[in-house]
Each structure stands twice: as C-alpha cells, then as structure tokens.
Amino acid sequence: KDIVMVKHGDFKTCQQSGFCVRQSAFADLVDKVPSFGSQYELLPDSLKIDEGKGVVTAHLLDQKQKTPFIFELFLLEHDTARVRIKEAPPIKPRYELLGDLALASSLPASVPIAKVNRTSTGEEIAVHFGVSGKNLLVLHARPFRFELSVNGVPAVSFNDKGYLYYEHSRSKESTPALENQAASAADGNVPVEEGANKDDEITKLQEALNKDLWEETFNGKTDSKPNGPASIGFDVSFPGSSNVYGLPQHASTFSLKTTRGENREYDQPYRLYNLDVFEYILDSPMALYGSIPFMMSHKKGVSSGVFWLNSAEMWIDVEKSKGTGTLSKLASYIPFATSKETSATTTSTHWMAESGVLDVFVFVGSTPNDIFDSFTAITGRPAMPQHFATAYHQCRWNYMDEQDVADVNAGFEKHDIPYDVLWLDIEHTDGKKYFTWDKTKFPNPETMQNNLAGTGRKMVTIIDPHIKRDDGYYVTKEAREKGLFIKDKDGNEFDGWCWPGSSSWIDYTDPAARQYWAEKFQFSEYKGSTPSLYTWNDMNEPSVFTGPETTMPKDALHHGGIEHRDVHNVYGTLLHRSTYEGHLLRSKNEDRPFVLSRAFFAGTQRYGAIWTGDNTAEWGHLAASVPMILSIGVAGVVFSGADVGGFFGNPEPDLLLRWYQVAAFQPFFRAHAHIDTKRREPWLFGEPYTSLIREAIRQRYRIMPYLYTLFWQSTQNGSPIMRPMVSEFPEDENTFGMGDQFMLGKGLLIKPVVQKDQSSVDVYLPKLAVWYDYTSLGKVAPSAAGVLNVKTPLEKIPVLLRGGTILPRRERIRRASNLMLHDPYTLLVALDHKGEATGTIYADDGHSFRFREGKYVLSELSYSSGTLSARGVRLGNDAKLSDADVDALSARVERLIITGLSALPKKVELDGRQLEFTGEKVDGDVYKIVVKDPKAWVGRDWKIHVE
Amino acid sequence: VVSAGSAHTTPDGVWSPDVALRGVHPTKLGLYTATKSTQSFQCLDRSKRIPFSAVNDDYCDCQDGSDEPGTSACSNGTFHCKNKGHIGADILSSRVNDGVCDPECCDGSDEYLGLINCPDKCKEVGTAYKKHIEEQRRILAEGERLAREYAAYGAKQQTDRTTQIAKLETQISVLDGRIKKLAEIKAAAEAYEEKRKAKGQTVESAEQEEESTRLKGKCCPTLEKCREMLDEQIGHNLLLDERIEYLQEGAWNLDSVEEATREDDHAVSNAVDGWEGYKLMYYFFDEETVDEELDTADEQPANEMPITGNDDEQQPKPKPKPDCCTRLKKCKREVDDEQEKHLHLQDRLEALLKVFYHLNDVKVKSKRDDEAVGRAYEKFNDYRLMFRGEKIPPMPDIEELDVRKEASEVPRTTEVPRTKNATEDCNRPDAPLVSCLRQRLQSYSKSLWKQMLALVRTPTAAEEAAMLRVDPIKAKAKFNLAETQRFDLQEKLNHLKKLKDVDFGPAGVWEKLFEQCFEYDAAEYKYYICLLQKAEQKPKSGTAGTNLGTFTRWGRRDDKLTTAANRYKYMMYENGDQCWNGPARSVEVALECGADTKVLSVVEMSKCEYTARLRSPAACDLAIPEQEIEKEAASAAATQSTSSSNRDEL
C-alpha cells in the first residue's frame, strides 16, 4: 500500500538551515581544535553584584570578534536563575519584546543573594541563593561559564563545552572577522593530529561558519535576510543525569534521544519551528505544530530545567557522555560534591536559535514537580478549564449541516453515550470566511446551538488566522482599514494561500490587532454565536500553503517592523490568546473561555488546550500519543490530547477502541477525523465495539471529579494532569527513561495497549507503592523486578490504582458532564502499606470565575488508623463559605469504597450513626468494603470510623 | 436548588409508599408493594432482598437497578413516566433529575427535584399523537395496499420471464443449428459461384432457351388456371402452417423437460427425441418469409435473374412486359414451389403429430410433476379439440397446366416413389422418424431441403447440381439474417436473464419501480436515485454530473451490520466515480414505508459516502403489527411537540 507520508524534502534539515550549519560547525571546531576554545570572557572589573536584589551584572567580551556583550543574572523565587546576554550596543536592535508576550503577567519576585564568595583573582564568583542558600551558582570568568548546584549536588552547567557563540549584529559590508580568526588558528598555531583529512574537515567547518549569512534559499523560496546573521548558540549540561525531557513538540520518545556524538540515535538535532506537517512521521526530531524551548532533567535527588525565552527557529542537539564534564572544577567550591555523584553519565545539550537574544531561565529543585512549579511560575499557571471541556468531545471534519448535527446528537442519545461538545470544522463557514456560516447548510445556527445546550452540551466552531482576501468580507475590510495584517518584506499586505485561497494573516503581535480580534467574538459581532459556542484555532503555526516549509516567510514584517523570524514560534499562541481574550470580552469576564489551538509556545497553558495535530489512524500513532502528551505536559501545557482514532485514515474498530480506552485517561479527550475518512461515531462499528467504546467514555465521566481536581491543582503548581512516571517516582531510577505508561495525577497508572491483538501487557509498578487493579480493586502482585503482566482482552487496558489514594468519582453517568455536577460522589479509598490514604476534591460551579472570589469547595481527605477525615479548606484570603454555599457547589458522598483492609470491619460509623456496608475479600488477601450512603457532604468536615 | 438528601424521601425526610412506587412501570406495581407475606423487596433479578425502605432511597442496592425505578441512583435502571393523557414511557434512569425536560416524559415527572421546571404537556402531546397516529395509520395502510399491488405485479413479471427465457433458449439452440448449416450452404454456393464464373456461363441458360418460344399461343388461358391453382395451394399451405405453428408452440415445452422425467418415462423420452429430430430436420423453414422475400424480390423473369448484384450494365435497361408463356412458366414454378412446400408441410405436420402421439402414453405422474410435460400435453389436447374434423384438401394436379401435349419431363412425384405404403409406414407410431423424413425430402428437387440433405449424406450428382444452383447472394443473405436474428434473440435472453437475477426484494415488490428515477433537491445539487439501477449527483450550476454508483446489493454499507431483518431496509449503490484521496462514491439508501415514493434526504456522511432516505410503498411490510405503528407514532408525536431535534429517540 502506497501511503503518502511527510515529504522530508518539504522541511529543512539542519544542513539546509544556515544558522544550524554555522552553529554546528562552531561546536565541531571547538571539539576538534583545542585552541579554538570558547572565546567569551567575563571582565571581572566590570562585575556588579546587588545582593539585596539578587542581581549580578558584568561585561562579557568576545575575544575573537572583539565585540562586547552585557551579562545579567537575576535570582528569582522558585529556585530560578535568569541569565541574559545582550549585545552592547547592537548595530541593529534585536527582538526583546517576547517576555511581554510569553511570560506570566507577574513574574516571581527576585530573591536576595544569601552569600557571595570570590576567588582572589576575581575569576570565579560563587553565589548562594534560595532557602538557606541551598542553591549555588558559580560563575567562571575565563572562559565564561557557570554551574548551578543544589545542596551540593551539581545540577546544571552552562557553556561547559564552550559552544557559546553569539553572532553579533553587523553590516553587510564589514568583513566577517571570525573566519580569519579561525583560519589563522587552523593554519599555523594549531597542532593538527591526523594530517591532511583532518585539515580538509577543518577547512570545511571554517567555510561552514560563513554559510548563508545574507540570503538563504530552500525549495526555490528565498529568505532575503536583510539583517544578516544573528544566531545564538550555547550548551547546557546536566552532569550525572542520563535523561532530558521536554522540548515539545516532536513525535519522539519522552526521554529525548541523542542527536550528536558517536552512536547518536537521530542524525538531526531536535528542531523547534511551528509547522503544519502533513502526515507527520513517528520517531523523529522533526519540528511539528508547537515549540516550547524548555527542557527538564532529573537524577536521583536533583531535578533541573532550562528555558530559553526565544521564539525564533531553534535546533537542539542532545549528547550523552561518560563522566561528569568539568565538575572537578566545581568541586573546589563544593568539596563534597563529587562524593554524591553515583551516575557517570552526563547529558549535554546544544541550543541554537536563529535570532533574538540569549535570555535563559535555569530552574533547580529536588523533584520534577519543583521544576513544573518553577517553570509555570515564569510562563504562567494553566487556566482553570470549564468542566465541560474536560469531558468527551466529538469532532469531525466535517459535520456537514444542521441535520447532520442533529443526527449525530441523536445517535449519542440513542446509544446512551455521553458527550459534551460537538465540533464544526471549516466547512461550516461561508467560503472559509471565519465568523460566518454557510447559510444553506447552517441556516439556524442559534437554534442548533440551543438545541444542544438544552441537554447541557456545547458547540465549538473553528476560527483560523488566515483571512480571505475578499473585499466583501467585513473582517478583511476592517483589518485592512486598521492595518492589522502582516506585511511582506516590501511592506505590502502579505498574500498567501490557505483554505479560502488567497489570504492575509492578522498580526497578533500588534496589541491593536489582538484587541480587534477579541471584539470579533462578541455576540453582536459573531452572528449566529451563542454563549454555548466556543472556539478552535487551527492552522496558526501559521500554515501558509504557498510559503516556505508551508509557513510564513521569515522576512515578512510584523508590527513595529519586527521580522517574522523573531516571532514565528509565538505567533500561534498570540492568536490563541486573542481568542481567549475575545471569550472573556463577550461574557464580560464571567465565563471561562474554552479555546483549542494547534500551534503552541511556552505559556500556552494560560489560554487553553492544544492537541497534537494531524496524526494518523495507526497503532504507532496511538503509541506515540503517550510520550507526546507527556512531553507537552512537562513543558507547562497540561491540557492536551491526541485526536482519538487518528486524523488521517480509517482506524480498525479495535484500534479505535484501544484509543478511546487510553484517551479517556488523557487530559484533552476528543475524537476527530479527516474529511476523507469514513464515519466513525462510536456506535458505527456494531457490538462489541459500541458497548466497549461507551464504557471507555463512561470511565472518563466517572473520574471527572478527580480529573477536575487535578486541573485545579495544576492551576496552583503547574503539575501535569498526565504525568510521566519519573515525576511521581523520582526516587525510582527504573522510571527515569519511561514514556510508554503514565500516571493520571498521583493515583492512577495507565498503560495503553498499542498493538493489535495484544492479549497481555507488562506494566512496571514502582515498588515504593502498593497497587490495586482499578476494576477489581484487588491488590496486585508484581514480580520482584516490579513487572506485572496484565491480561488485556478487548474490554481492558491496564489501569492500576496506587495505594494511598482517595479518588473521588461520580457513578451516575449522565448524557453530558455538566448534568452531573449536582450528583453525589463515590469515594474510592485505596490503602497504602501503612493503611493510609489521602485525597483532595475540588469543586466549583464548573464554568465561571467565581472560584477566584472563594466560591469553591476544597476538601482534604485522609484516611489513617481506621478513620476517614474530611476537612473543608480555604486558600489564602478566602473566607469560609456558608454551609448552603458549600452544598450548592458540592454534593454528598453516596458511596464509600475502601480497599486494602486487612480484615472486615465490625462497624462503620459517622457521628455515632451506624452506616450500612458490605464487604468481601478481594485478590491479594485484602478486604474491600462498600459503605452505603454515609450522607457526608463534600466540603464539610466529618469523620467516618471504620472499626 | 438541590437540598441535601431529600431525593428519596418526603420533605420531612420520612420514607413513604408513594415515593417507593415512583417510576415503577404499572405492570410491576405489585412487586413494589409490601404485603403480609412479603415484607421485603426482592431485586427483580432475584439477586438480593432489601427492605422496602431501601427502594427509591437514592442508593443503588440491586445489581439490575430495579430498586431505584424513581431515582438516578442506578446506572442501568429505567424510570416510568405515567404521561396521563398520553402514553406512558420508560426513560433511562440517568435522565431522571438531570435538569433536562425529556420529551418522552411529557408529564415532567422525571424532574421532581426542581433543577428545572417541566410543565405537564401530555394533553397537547396526546392530541397531537392521536392525530398523528391516525394519519400514520392511513398512510401505512395505503402503503401496504400499494405494496401488495406491487408484489402481485412483480410475481407476474417473474413468471412471464421464466417462460420467455425457456422459449428463447430453445429458439437460440435451434437457430444455432440452422446457422451452422446455412454457413455451409453459403460456403458451398459461393464456391460453386466461383467455379461457374470461371466457366463464364449461367447454369440454366441452355434449358431456358429450349423452352422459349415453342408453345406461345396456348399459354394465356392456362396462365389463368395456374393462378387459381396457385391461390388454392397457398391457402392450403397456410392452413398447414397454422397447425404446425400451434403444435410447435406446445412442443417448445419439451426443451424444458427435466432429465429425471425423461429417464423415468419412456414415452416422454420418445417425445423429446422426436422433437429433437424434428427440429433438426424442419426448423429451418421457420423462416419461410425470408425465402419468399428473396425469391420474389421483383417481377423480373426467372431466366433473367441476375446472378450477382455487381452486374451494373443490365440495371438501366427498361424491362419488357413478359409474355403469357414466360409468366405461365413462372407461375408454374410457383405452384411447383408451393406444392413442394405443401408436401413438406404435410411431412412436417405428421412428424409433429408423431411427437405428440408419444405424449398420449406419458404417465400421469410425469404430467403432474413435470411442468413442461404438463404444458406440452395440454397444448396437444387443445390442438385436437381445435382442429378436430378439419381436413386438408388434396393437392391440385399440376400436370393439368402443361401446355405441351407430350410431357417433356417425368413428373416429379415419380422421381422418388411416394407410395401409399411408404406413407403408411412412416405414419406408424414406431416408424423410424429420421429415415422417413429423409425419404420425403428426397422428393424436393429445388428446395433448400435437398441442399441440406446433401449435407447430411453424400449427395447424388443431381442433388449436388441442384444445390449448386443456389444463388450465393440468397445464401449469404439468409445466413446473415439468421445471425442477426440470433443476436437479437440472445440480447433479449441476456436481458431477461439479467432481470431474472435481479433481487426485486420481498415478493418482487420493487420491480414495479425498477429503473424509475426519483429526484432530490439539495442546496447545490440535484440527486437522482434510479431504483435498483444507479444514483447520480448533478450540480445545479450545470456542470457535468457525478456517478454515485450503480445498484449492487441490499443491506448496509458495512455489510457486517446487515441482518436478515434489515436486509431489505437498505439498498446500496456502489462503485461510482472515484474520489480524490477517497473511495469510489457510494450511496446507502435507507428505505421507509409510505404511500408514495420520494427521496427524503441525501447527505454525504463521509467523504464520497452518501446516505439517502427514500420513502416508498415498496418499503412497506406486507403486514405490520399494529403496536409498531403506535410506538412509532408516539415517539414522533412526543418529538414534534418539543423543539428538540432528537428524532431517533426511543
């Protein structure tokens, strides 16, 4: 079968990207020619330290180019160090506005320096900061580099390999100085070991340093590069750490593969450049729809993270090596450091961006959770989603008309399958003019939405950033009048091709454009929209069918004369943001927006959900969805999911079922399909598939109180909803490289079935915990190595409940999740080794921002010594709610299930009231009891005694 | 506003029997009522006993959900709304107190917690329902009546087709024999023509010249007599033709006789064998008209009959009026021909009758069990009734027409002796048919028969000569005509066979609408569904139409979903125009019963996969249980009374 896959030739390799060639050549020269070395020096005399504000500044000199830079170090709360290096002064200004667009509106406060040590020469400066000065940042002046350690354990090392290379701004006429430098180094002074071949190689590398400085052509499309070279490269090493994670979006493993050095697993660096990739391939470092220049690493006891605030095209090499780099140097400042190192592997990464400035955040902590918290403190906490948005979504390109919508809705009703949102793709518009409706197919959009709303359901329409160049289209007319479109390099309205044909793109970097866009969502503006209509932003990489690599030319011009190359990766997020703001505007800040985006960047979590883009109905894509969502999740974007069933192609019913079974436990749960595929609504495959898919979706609705609580927790600390094993078990080295199974919150472990006819699956269960089968609630017995083989008939994928968890559920599955908000809870208590468990329930009205005014219920539950205690808690300044308020936002517990008891209790009591219960012995020699209707209200304080 | 824990109890928190019976189906009320003997409730699946106070206490105790008919506590239960003024309905427990007024519960009884106010609409729903059900009944009754008509039509068509096919098949097989022979004759005639042309003379020239002018004066009166004789003879031959035709019609049935019957019944076997022989010998002359057309193509004298059509030089010459002698000569030839034909027809009739005489002896069982035998026998009986007593007059004596005193030729009849004995021998039931026939045939010097005969045995020199006198043009024309005829018959047969293989649905009810096209007007397109034939989409803009498929089968698109019960509720049109990046176009047509035939909708559900709804009497069950109509109507009425679009509910 001839399957058309992504054409590699449509997208650049590093060798076809000028700056990637130059930066890679620089790194290779540093490696191969010892005297080439790192060329940056901190000038000790220029050093200024403001201990109170936690700021260190100094001049940095490029010795070869003789160009000056300014070095700035800011120490922040959340164990964060921000390092900024800028040209002083640049010939051409660089783009420095990204912080305003991508970072949280209020950044963590600066922290004072606890202690500073300097060597007598002033060439090494040791800065202690953080709680009791546990973090130590050591700056080295010559060559310039720094290391950061936590409690004496090395965590991060910057410019350890000497790859720092900042292409200073220049005029085209000036001779590039570096070439001469490098040439002279190679010609005379450098002892070359291997003779002629080596010479050739080095000569080639030197030539490569000058590749495509002023113009670059790919696939017949030329980038005019009027500002010349401006790329930046540097290396970051994680001493003693074998794994790095993050850097979404790639269809790759969770623990990133090596791309440099001998035995590298990929022959290309990971690329970050938001692209619309048709039928992307798996297990590849190629760029996809979103880019987050954030990387995390973890070793026992120490976690760290690096975030480069830069929205230009980026390439990142990953290399693993034996040893601990230059840690011996660090050891002189931390005498006890090396003794703590057990692993001899160091992971080094080389970051290369085309333009912008060097503005890097380094985070340290003891677990990945610390890093999630720090990173989202910088890039913003995830938005609290609407309750409905965390339920199941039904989408297809396209539900064709109002009748089709009614029929699909009726199909769900008839087959008693819950769903919350029905989606309309581009065909619903009048000629792909967004904010309009195809009048023949959708003559009565309000009625249609209201019909859905009648059963608590919502609708989503697609709104893309390309605007049809049609004078009769009001958006075109208005945006043109206001000058809100992106311009081409010559200053004319950029004209490219997308769904509607000839189109222009709104310039969301312009505050006026964002404001304009937001206003378009008002009910008076968006005709046919109602309060139950939400939005989907697609093609916002941006996708330009006629552009280089299917996107916007880099020399296109944005507001203020900014080149597209500087803002490419943040563009899609600015649309996402503008739409989010539009939703706020239309409801006067009452209703939480729900906006799905395809492109994403650091900070996207502030605006809503993303999905992994146009995947394919293949088992491999189902498998890939897990590491992809994990990678996106650790980079702050906690609300994401893959198209259930696969976008392209037709899934076999078993693949579709397996997809539903795992997606029910993933943050964003939406079925979607390409217009060329067969219909695949859940009931179309006959039995047993209809029943099994129904059950999979019901699993989702059952755990929605748990899931909603996870979302809320994420708004507090950035913890992903779907978590890698390593973040829940940071002490268990077996989990560090694991990306094919995951945790949903702390309590559930899910391992998908990703192969056809797979009758059993091995699951790794960390020994630190007790585990229960989620279905039988019996205790499972993994092997000594922690492996449990789980039988996986069609109706089952491995889902394990972690001992120590109290998991809130709702067992009354209604047709839509908002109809369940008043229904009683079932509490599932799974005891750990000590016979204890804890859990949290968060509840609010499900849709408004009143939770910010304290209108929420937060119940902390704990079970120990035979007592289940519930305690309603309030945060910060939130005053206590009245009982009536609590009751209105919450519900009673109708059922209490406890498993892991060593014996059947004699009685169960609440406030002296005896409760009915039944009990039985389950697998693993433990007892499970079901307590009938304790009539205990979630959010109030109560205690249930099990004797 | 929801208040704590009040769902299952009265406002004062006390359990009451009314609450216990909430949502219980009327037929099950007894099971939910405490009696002296039953103080506890038994789950309807008998899995458990619980106190009556646990019924409808908003906690699911029974695995089957039967303890909570009035609440949403059990995920697998149902709630019964009484719908006073209308018809009671069961809804899923999950729809109880979910804040939605379910159209099925027109009394609003499913929403008693006050999450939403659902007014009692049963009165208006009930009225609408009654009206709707009456209308529905009327439509369905009309649909069913038409369906029965359609079925009767279909059945008749199918029977007719079976008969037709049998007949055509026989005709074709006989024609095949004839074509083979004609081809041979043609080849022989053409070969002879070649030879003759080489010699440069016509075969008949010497003979004709000798006859020319000798006996001129006597010719005219005799010509008149000849004409009378000719008319008389033609009349006789027509009578014979009629009888032969009639018997042949009966005899065709013998082609369909089952092998088993032949084996079982010697008489049948004889009849069939006789018929086979008959066809072999005689069926050629079924195309007598062809011969006539060719023979009497114009009035030109026989001696001037052109040998080839290429003789252009003779065409423009004016033709002189032939004299009496020439005309007499021609007439005599004609009489001669007719008489030959008469003899032939007589033989033929006798041979046919002999076939049927065998049928006199067939077993009753054969006539009863084998339809073909039965029909053939019946026809023969009819024949006997019809032509009983009617005699064929004797042949006039052609010798009277001889104007010459002395007979220049030996009378033809003496060429081959046709003695009484011989005739009688051949009339005996056990006469060797083929040899008898051959014997007869030897008497026809100029007929094709002779030529044919030459092909089945080594011809005598005279026979060969006669045969060689066949005009190659005629032979070719006859052959071509037979070919054309065979082609037409085959076409007709193929068509019928194709139709016979078409599944016209239960009782052939759809044949009535076969290949009829029905139109559907969508926004940009017009769709055409030509039943059991094809489906098309034509853009209104007038550009070329798209083939959406031809009828391939009954059942669902996904054939796995086809069941015995729904097979004839869907038809599939497949293998239409290929889609770019998609499948070949196809249409699944869902059928529903109605009083008229109409396409109700066409939607492109998936890329190039269309779904249509079509209403037709042909989709009506020939008998639908009454309660089905009621159920359908109830659902429709309930839905209509609300703005909900959930048409497929229930």
- Under the banding of pLDDT at 50, 70 and 90, the label for residue A608 is very high
pLDDT exceeds 90 at position A483: yes
Name every chain A residue with its beta carbon within 8 A of the beta carbon of B58: 824, 894, 933
- What value does the mean pLDDT take over residues B99-120? 94
Amino acid at A21: V
Cα distance between residue A420 and residue A99, in whole Å: 36
Distance CA B98, CA B90 (A): 15
CA–CA dist A142, B95 (Å, integer): 73
| A814 chain-B contacts, CB cut-off 8 A | 72, 94-95, 98
B468 or A552, higher pLDDT:
A552
Instruction: State chain A's mean pLDDT as an integer.
Output: 93
Rounded to an integer, the average pLDDT of A6-32 is 91
pLDDT value at B639 more than 80: no
Torsional sign, CA A711, A715, A719, A720: positive
Averaged over A286-301, what is the pLDDT? 97
Percent of chain B with pLDDT over 90: 32
Q: Which band of pLDDT confidence, cut at 50, 70 and 90, is reported for residue B376?
A: confident
Give the distance from residue B531's alpha carbon to the nearest chain A alpha carbon, in angstroms.
24
pLDDT in tens, A484-516: 999 999 999 999 999 999 999 999 999 999 999
pLDDT at res. A484: 98
> How does residue B447 score in pLDDT terms, banded at 50, 70 and 90?
very low
Question: Is the dihedral angle over the CA atoms A683, A685, A690, A692 positive or is it negative?
Answer: negative
Tokens for A748, please give them: 């559930």
CB proximity A401 to B under 8 Å? yes
For A227-244, what is each residue's pLDDT tens digit?
999 999 999 999 999 999
Write the DSSP assignment of B489-518 as a string of letters: HHHHHHHHHHHHHS--SGGGTTGGGTT-EE
- For helices B122-199 and B472-501, the axis angle rounded to 10 degrees is 160
Look at A877 and A772; give whichever has higher pLDDT. Answer: A772
**For chain A, how long is the longest CA-to-CA vector?**
93
pLDDT at A883: 87
**Helix/strand/coil (H/E/C) assignment for every residue in A740-806:** CCEEECCCEEECCCCCCCCCEEEEECCCCCCEEECCCCCECCCCCCCEEEEECCCCCCCEEEECCEE
- Name the strand (E) or helix (H) holding A424: strand A421-424
Given its phi and psi angles, is residue A920 left (phi above 0), alpha (psi -120 to 50 degrees) or beta?
beta
Give the CA dihedral A490, A496, A500, A504, nearest 10 degrees: -30
Q: Does residue A362 surpass a pLDDT of 90?
A: yes
> A647: Cβ–Cβ under 8 A, 6 or more apart, which residues?
A613, A614, A615, A616, A617, A672, A673, A674
What is the average pLDDT across A611-629? 98
Whether the predicted pLDDT of B312 surpasses 50: no
* pLDDT over 80 (residue A85): yes
Per-residue pLDDT tens over the stretch B175-200 = 787 788 778 777 877 777 777 677 65
Mean pLDDT of B632-637: 59
Residues 6+ apart with CB under 8 A from A545: A496, A497, A498
User: Tokens representing B484?
Assistant: 């054309």
pLDDT of residue A38: 77
Collapsing DSSP states into helix, strand and coil, what is residue A823? coil
On whether the CB atoms of residues B291 and B479 are closer than 8 A, the answer is no
B480 touches chain A (CB under 8 A): no
For residue B648, is pLDDT > 60? Answer: no
B561 touches chain A (CB under 8 A): yes
Mean pLDDT lowest among A589-593, B124-128, B233-237: B233-237
pLDDT in tens, A382-401: 999 999 999 999 999 999 99
pLDDT in tens, B207-251: 444 455 555 566 777 778 888 888 877 877 787 887 888 888 888
Lowest mean pLDDT: which of A110-119, A258-267, A269-278, B232-241? B232-241
Q: What residues are paired with A504 via a beta bridge?
A: A467
Residue whose tokens read 């024609």: B175
In the predicted model, what is the mean pLDDT of residues B387-407?
61
* Closest to A816 measured CA to CA, from A846, A849, A851, A855: A846
* Residues of A with a known catalytic role: 538, 541, 614
Choice between A179 and A358, residue whose per-residue pLDDT is larger: A358
Partners of A790 in the β-ladder? A761
Query: What is the spatial distance between Cα B467 and Cα B485, in angstroms, rounded to a whole number?
Result: 24
Distance of CA A916 to the CA centre of its chain: 46
Looking at residue B400, its pLDDT comes to 67
**Cβ within 8 Å of residue A66, ≥6 positions away:** A177
H/E segment holding residue A180: helix A177-184
CA distance A551 to A555: 12
Confidence label for B3 from pLDDT (cuts 50, 70 and 90): very low
Q: What is the predicted pLDDT for the residue at B224?
A: 80
Q: Residue B373: its pLDDT value, please?
A: 87
DSSP string covering A444-483: -HHHHHHHHHTTT-EEEEE--SEEE--TTSHHHHHHHHHT
Which of the four pLDDT bands, split at 50, 70 and 90, describes residue B17? low
Instruction: Kindly state whether B585 is in contact with chain A, defined as any CB-CB distance less than 8 angstroms.
Output: no
How many beta carbons lie within 10 A of that of residue B429, not counting itself? 10
Q: CA-nearest residue of chain A to B95?
A: A814
The arithmetic mean of pLDDT across residues B534-552, rounded, is: 90
Q: What pLDDT band is residue B292 in, cutting at 50, 70 and 90?
A: very low
* pLDDT > 70? residue B282: no
Task: List b or e across B388-410, with b for residues whose CB sees 16 or more CB atoms inside 10 angstroms.
Answer: eeeeeeebbebeebbbeeeeeee
B190 touches chain A (CB under 8 A): no
| Inter-residue contact B629 to B635 (CB < 8 Å) | no
pLDDT (mean) for B504-533: 92
Considering chain A, what percentage of its residues have pLDDT values greater than 90? Answer: 87
Percent of chain B residues past pLDDT 70, beyond the cut: 70
Identify the three-state secondary structure at position B261: helix
Task: Search chain A and give the residue with CA nearest B586.
Answer: A678
Give me the pLDDT at residue B573, please. Answer: 97
Contacts of A165 (CB under 8 A, 6+ apart): A23, A26, A27, A39, A231, A232, A233, A234
Radius of gyration of chain B (CA): 42
pLDDT at A180: 47
Q: Quick check: A257 and A47 in contact, CB under 8 A?
A: no
**Average pLDDT of chain B to the nearest whole number:** 76
pLDDT value of position B243? 82
Give the pLDDT score at A772. 98
Q: Of the given ranges (A377-391, A653-667, B375-389, B539-553), which has the lowest mean pLDDT?
A: B375-389
Tokens of B369: 């069990």
Contact call for residues A932 and A916 (beta carbons, < 8 A): yes
Checking if the pLDDT of B628 tops 90, the result is no
Predicted local distance difference test score (pLDDT) of residue B103: 92
* Total number of residues shown for chain A: 947
Contacts (Cβ under 8 Å, ≥6 apart) of A187 = none
DSSP state of B445: S
Number of CB pairs, chain A paired with chain B, less than 8 A apart: 102
Contacts of A895 in chain B (CB under 8 A): 59
CB-CB: which of B99, B582, B644 is closest to A676? B582
pLDDT, tens only, A139-155: 999 899 999 999 989 99
The alpha carbon of residue A862 is apart from the nearest alpha carbon of chain B, in Å, by: 23
Which pLDDT score, from 0 to 100, does residue B320 have?
59
